Chains A and B, each alone.
Chain A
Amino acid sequence: MKIGIINYGGGNLKSVTNALVRLGQNFEVLDSPSRLEYVDKIIFPGVGSAKNAMNELKKKGFVEPIKALKKPFLGICLGMQLLSEFSEEGKAKCLDVIPGKVKKFQSGELKIPQIGWNKVNVVKKNALFDEIKDQDYFYFVNSYYFDAQIKYTIGTTDYCLKFASAISKNNFYAVQFHPEKSGESGLKLLSNFCNKC
């Protein structure tokens, strides 16, 4: 089995590839959509701003092929937010794979961005969280959150409000935190995606 990692130019792929090396997974970095058919599962890491990332995806011709995917797909951080309809960050029209919009945290009392380790409440059984305990800590870095519908939410996290920190719809999975940077629990989640989703 081979994992494809989408490379749109802005993201930090090294952290994800480091984690996959540690897990002993075969993988390929995908610079073009034509390579999507040669892998079994896809990881979509995101660092950067929504607007920029969408522009890069468009330039490289990734938009339509991603939307049409039937293979297991995992969006990470911005990669989760880009699955939405729209992001307030740069007023970006996104991939529209999972219903809902991406909004900025509104807080008078908490610092924005949220940076650090926060708990994930697992609210729905999902293979992604197999053998991961409820309320385990994962590493977050975000100023925006995906205001997702309950039916697609598998994990929530408290920051100013309860927001969806893990979602899934059909073959699409996404997490707001960085599993590749969340120690052992994060590696477990990635291994679940590779082996169980």
Chain B
Amino acid sequence: MLIIPAIDIINGECVRLRKGDYGSKTVYFKNPVKVARKFEKDGAKMLHIVDLDAAKSGKPENLKTIIKIRKIVNIPIEIGGGIRSLEIADKYIKAGVNRLIIGTKAIENLNFIKDLIKRFGAEKIVVGLDAINGKLATNGWLKKSNIDYLVFAKKLKKIGITEIIFTDISRDGMLTKPNFKAISELARMNFNLIASGGISDISDVEILSGLNIYGIIIGKALYENKVCLREAVDAVKPLTNLTKRIIPCLDVANSRVVKGINFKNLKDSGDPVELGKKYSEEGADELVFLDIKATKENRKTTLDMVRRISENVFIPFTVGGGVSNITDIKNLLLSGADKVSINTAAVLNPALIFKAAKKFGNQCIVVAIDAKKINGKYKVFTRGGSQKTGLDVFEWTKKVESLGAGEILLTSMDRDGTKRGFDIELLEKISSAVKIPVIASGGAGSLKDLKIALNEGKADAVLAASLFHFNEISISQAKKYLSKFNIPMRI
């Protein structure tokens, strides 16, 4: 979710009004350009700029200031106020403005919006709905209409508008409370919805964040230091319902699922086909199959086994072990794998990651990294943990990301099979360093371990073997437990 600071301009100065009343103007800063730069520095991801002079007069009055802001900040800016002709819209777009906010004119003439969409694309057009007691207001909020905002929103939806800003005028600049009811009503209509007006403290931001909207415009509360911008940026959750994933892992040797401690002393844990089917039906989010002896024994992953597991598994299925070239990957995909995990071959031949990602798509390529702490530094190991490489885990992770890996399967060799919990230090460092998802592996011994890996370790998914194979904890138990701590789970 975006926190979008507002910059309202009158006469080249940064001002705030109360309830849109020009008579109530307070000048906060002489130079809006400096304000814009400060907001960007404090973590804003977009700026909301309104030319209040233009809102009244219908022509750009502060274009120079806006151009200056556009030149000085790197984040997108949206401009509102007085955009009532294609010529004016053109001027702003040419000046590099990312989105145009149309208010009054949209209400007067819906065809104008259609023309704008045709000319600039729907992604550049935002409609501002300014409401008072459920009815829309126009002309810098000086005029009130009889149009219900929900009825009008439906019309906008029909013509292809995807983004709207909802402002409750009776609350704007009043540091009261946002109109949560109206906002959730609009959010249900499937707009990228930006809420504006009435934010008085960080708790308002938190509530709005829970409504799963696209952004929040904050004005007066920032200028009056009621809300700290950095704090607000940190308080909001990203817009998504994506869940964290629970992934049981089948380590297979000689056609049996096995599990060792620190990659040694393997113990039989069952039939891979049976276990795979069981996990798929029990609500596992994904399944990983690793042929752990393939590389060591210089042979290919058992395709037949992959085929038989995949026939009973209707969740994503990642296969690894012994993958050394493009043909191997292709064969695995054809046998029913959805993703392929590369470990040793990636270290020996990093270009394989690039080539495979290009051919099969990044999302298909998981790079497995086995890490072991040596003299305080995490080092990469290959060949089922038996070969030291000297590579630094942190640098190797960054490299595989740049080569196009879609996901990292990070195993702590020190913790693997020990049930002492994940190596959170390693996990947090790697999760924060890359933009691709990280699967935590090695050491899961309890429900609490899973929670810590997802929260403190910032992992996107947790992988566990022993924990699930020996029926200590079921998948659904794990999910119920984690969702109690507000970790999003598919239940």
CB within 8 Å of B: which residues of A?
10, 12-15, 18-19, 21-22, 47-49, 52, 78, 107-119, 121, 123, 135, 137, 139-143, 147, 149-151, 156-162, 178, 180-184, 186-187
Please report which residues of chain B, range 307-348, place their CB below 8 angstroms from some CB of chain A when the two chains form the complex: 307, 310-311, 313-317, 333-338
7 sampled A-B residue pairs with Cβ under 8 A: A14-B337, A47-B338, A49-B359, A116-B243, A118-B242, A151-B158, A183-B315
Given A12-B337, A14-B335, answer yes or no on A161-B310 (Cβ-Cβ < 8 Å): no
Given A109-B238, A187-B314, answer yes or no on A14-B307 (Cβ-Cβ < 8 Å): yes
Given A116-B460, A141-B363, A156-B190, answer yes or no on A14-B437 (Cβ-Cβ < 8 Å): no
Could you tell me the distance in whole angstroms from the C-beta of B68 to the nearest C-beta in chain A?
A: 24
- How many B residues are at the interface, by size bracket? 35 or more
Assess the B358–A116 pair: CB atoms within 8 A: no
Assess the B45–A108 pair: CB atoms within 8 A: yes
Complex formed: what's the CA distance from A131 to B337 in Å?
A: 29
Assess the A47–B364 pair: CB atoms within 8 A: yes
Given A109-B238, A142-B363, answer yes or no on A14-B314 (Cβ-Cβ < 8 Å): no
Assess the B285–A116 pair: CB atoms within 8 A: yes
Assess the B360–A139 pair: CB atoms within 8 A: no
Select from chain B the residue with minimum beta-carbon distance to A22.
Answer: B314
Complex formed: what's the CA distance from A107 to B2 in Å?
A: 10
Assess the B314–A180 pair: CB atoms within 8 A: yes
Complex formed: what's the CA distance from A187 to B314 in Å?
A: 8
Complex formed: what's the CA distance from A129 to B69 in Å?
A: 47
The residue in A12, A159, A178, A182 that gathers the most chain B C-beta atoms within 10 A of its C-beta is: A12
Could you tell me the distance in whole angstroms from the C-beta of A51 to the nearest C-beta in chain B?
A: 9
- Answer whether residue B192 sits at the interface, using C-beta atoms and an 8 A cutoff: yes
Could you tell me the distance in whole angstroms from the C-beta of A139 to the nearest C-beta in chain B?
A: 6
Assess the A118–B160 pair: CB atoms within 8 A: no
Complex formed: what's the CA distance from A157 to B243 in Å?
A: 13
Identify the 5 closest CB pairs spanning chains A and B, nearest first: A14-B336, A119-B241, A141-B363, A109-B238, A117-B490
Could you tell me the distance in whole angstroms from the C-beta of B96 to the nearest C-beta in chain A?
A: 16
Assess the A160–B436 pair: CB atoms within 8 A: no
Looking at chain A's contact residues, is the secondary structure mostly helix, strand, loop, or mixed? mixed
Given A113-B406, A116-B461, A183-B315, answer yes or no on A158-B241 (Cβ-Cβ < 8 Å): yes
- Answer whether residue B239 sits at the interface, using C-beta atoms and an 8 A cutoff: yes
- Answer whether residue B280 sits at the interface, using C-beta atoms and an 8 A cutoff: yes
Could you tell me the distance in whole angstroms from the C-beta of A10 to the nearest C-beta in chain B?
A: 7
Assess the A121–B190 pair: CB atoms within 8 A: yes
Complex formed: what's the CA distance from A121 to B313 in Å?
A: 25
Assess the A10–B359 pair: CB atoms within 8 A: yes
Complex formed: what's the CA distance from A130 to B283 in Å?
A: 22
- Answer whether residue B304 sits at the interface, using C-beta atoms and an 8 A cutoff: no
Contact partner of A115 among B317, B437, B490, CB < 8 A? B437
- Answer whether residue B119 sits at the interface, using C-beta atoms and an 8 A cutoff: no
- Answer whether residue B407 sits at the interface, using C-beta atoms and an 8 A cutoff: yes
Could you tell me the distance in whole angstroms from the C-beta of B283 to the nearest C-beta in chain A?
A: 8
Complex formed: what's the CA distance from A115 to B123 in Å?
A: 24
Assess the A162–B242 pair: CB atoms within 8 A: no
- Answer whether residue B245 sits at the interface, using C-beta atoms and an 8 A cutoff: yes
Select from chain A the residue with minimum beta-carbon distance to B334.
Answer: A14
Complex formed: what's the CA distance from A143 to B313 in Å?
A: 24
Assess the A162–B191 pair: CB atoms within 8 A: yes
Contact partner of A123 among B190, B243, B335, B362, CB < 8 A? B190
- Answer whether residue B212 sits at the interface, using C-beta atoms and an 8 A cutoff: yes
Could you tell me the distance in whole angstroms from the C-beta of A7 to the nearest C-beta in chain B?
A: 10
Select from chain A the residue with minimum beta-carbon distance to B357.
Answer: A49
- Answer whether residue B240 sits at the interface, using C-beta atoms and an 8 A cutoff: yes
Given A18-B336, A109-B238, answer yes or no on A143-B243 (Cβ-Cβ < 8 Å): no
Assess the A115–B239 pair: CB atoms within 8 A: no
Complex formed: what's the CA distance from A51 to B481 in Å?
A: 43
List, in ascending order, chain B residues with CB within 8 A of A160's CB: 238-240
Contact with A along B414-454 (1 / 0, CB 8 A): 00000000000000000000011100000000000000000
List, in ascending order, chain B residues with CB within 8 A of A52's CB: 358-359
Assess the A49–B336 pair: CB atoms within 8 A: no
List, in ascending order, chain A residues with CB within 8 A of B490's CB: 117, 137
Complex formed: what's the CA distance from A15 to B280 in Å?
A: 14
Please report which residues of chain B, range 223-248, place their CB below 8 angstroms from some CB of chain A when the two chains form the complex: 238-245
List, in ascending order, chain B residues with CB within 8 A of A110's CB: 238, 240, 242
Contact partner of B158 among A119, A139, A150, A158, CB < 8 A? A150
Assess the B310–A18 pair: CB atoms within 8 A: yes
List, in ascending order, chain B residues with CB within 8 A of A150's CB: 157-158, 160, 162
List, in ascending order, chain A residues with CB within 8 A of B192's CB: 161-162
- Answer whether residue B350 sits at the interface, using C-beta atoms and an 8 A cutoff: no
Given A22-B314, A182-B314, A186-B314, answer yes or no on A159-B359 (Cβ-Cβ < 8 Å): no
List, in ascending order, chain B residues with CB within 8 A of A108's CB: 45
Assess the B338–A15 pair: CB atoms within 8 A: yes
Complex formed: what's the CA distance from A183 to B162 in Å?
A: 31
- Answer whether residue B149 sits at the interface, using C-beta atoms and an 8 A cutoff: no
Select from chain B the residue with minimum beta-carbon distance to A13.
Answer: B334
Assess the A19–B314 pair: CB atoms within 8 A: yes
Contact partner of A161 among B239, B311, B334, CB < 8 A? B239
Assess the A149–B241 pair: CB atoms within 8 A: no
Given A141-B363, A150-B162, answer yes or no on A159-B240 (Cβ-Cβ < 8 Å): yes
Contact partner of B311 among A21, A121, A142, CB < 8 A? A21
List, in ascending order, chain B residues with CB within 8 A of A140's CB: 242
List, in ascending order, chain A residues with CB within 8 A of B134's CB: none
Assess the A49–B239 pair: CB atoms within 8 A: no
Complex formed: what's the CA distance from A130 to B360 in Å?
A: 32
